Amino acid sequence: MEIKDRSKLLTEQRNPRTINIDSKTTLEIVDIINAEDARVFSAIHKERQNIAKAVDLIVDAVSKEGGRLIYVGAGTSGRLGILDAAECPPTFSTDPNMVIGIIAGGEKAVFQSVEGAEDFPENGAKDIQQKEVNHRDVVVGITTGGTTPYVMGALFEAKKRNAKTVFLCCNLETTPNFEVDAIIRPIVGPEVITGSTRMKAGTVTKLILNMLTTATMIKLGKVYENLMIDLKASNAKLTDRAERIIMTVTGIDREDAKKLLAAAFGNAKVAIVMQKLGLDYAEAKKRLDANGGFVRKVLQQ
């Protein structure tokens, strides 16, 4: 898809509610931005079924050996994908290769704008090839305007390789000219500053990516009740959280939780099963493995 005149795109139009924002007081500017941001939540609500469809695609992929969730974007969209991917291993103890982000322009573009990197669909296709994308993967193309050549090239190449594909954009006017498996289209309207999609469009993207990975991890058994029981106790903060999670679920005190976590080799999930069912590490891990890692299933047996 090639659109040379983007003026008709909703994300490029002027917002009538903010035309005089440059004449406002500081507090009025803040209030205007806040009022526009509030529109994000209803936009997400309208797309909840499409988001759920994408989650189910991702769960089916990553629950199988070698399956991955791959975000592809340019600029803000690419950075948000990389951010969401980077936060999965410490939060859910996932393999760093399970959720990955690709950005037009490569690693340099994460920290500094690489203008023009998004203009070539062949570069998107090449990056998909380099990641050896295949039928076990889900590729989410993030393009708020819905026209980014790099992202469209990446999605098309992913589809050729039989990966599942998800198209995430904030415009009604744009759709891939090839089949995709799911479309998520939150309509947040024109930006506070015309064309600055790092604002509402960026916010809605961040929230949806949070939903995709968090809902996926819940469905994979990495959450018990509302506790991140599969976190990796890799620093003082996360070790403290792991101990508090064990205390909350089992009712034991801090010192016993510390000892139990050590006996479980830092695995809060195994520690909980050990304490609740009176098992040693090997048997607790065995039962978890037999139940797909779901604590609730083990405790209910």
Positions annotated as catalytic residues are: 87, 118
Phi first, then psi, for residue 96 (nearest 5°) are -55, -20
Q: From CA 260, how far away is CA 129, in angstroms rounded?
A: 45
Q: Phi/psi of residue 52, each to 5°?
A: -60, -40
Position 137: which residue type? D
Strand pairing category for 164-168 and 138-142: parallel
**Which distant-in-sequence residues (6+ apart) come within 8 Å of 108 by Cβ?**
114
DSSP 268: H
Residue of 162, 168, 164, 169 lying closest to 181 (CA atoms): 164
DSSP reduced 3-state for 263? helix
The pairs formed by 286-291 with CB atoms below 8 angstroms and a separation of 24 or more are 291/221
| C-alpha 112, offset from chain centre | 22
Nearest to 222 by CA among 67, 94, 85, 65: 94
Distance set, CA 141 to CA 89, 235, 250 (Å): 21, 33, 42
List, as one string, the DSSP characters of 211-238: HHHHHHHHHTT--BTTB-TT----SHHH
How far does CA 164 lie from the centroid of its chain? 16
* Inter-residue long-range contacts of 237-243, CB under 8 Å, 24+ positions, other chains counted: 238/90, 239/266, 242/266, 242/268, 242/271
Nearest one of 191, 198, 100, 190 to 140, comparing CA atoms: 100
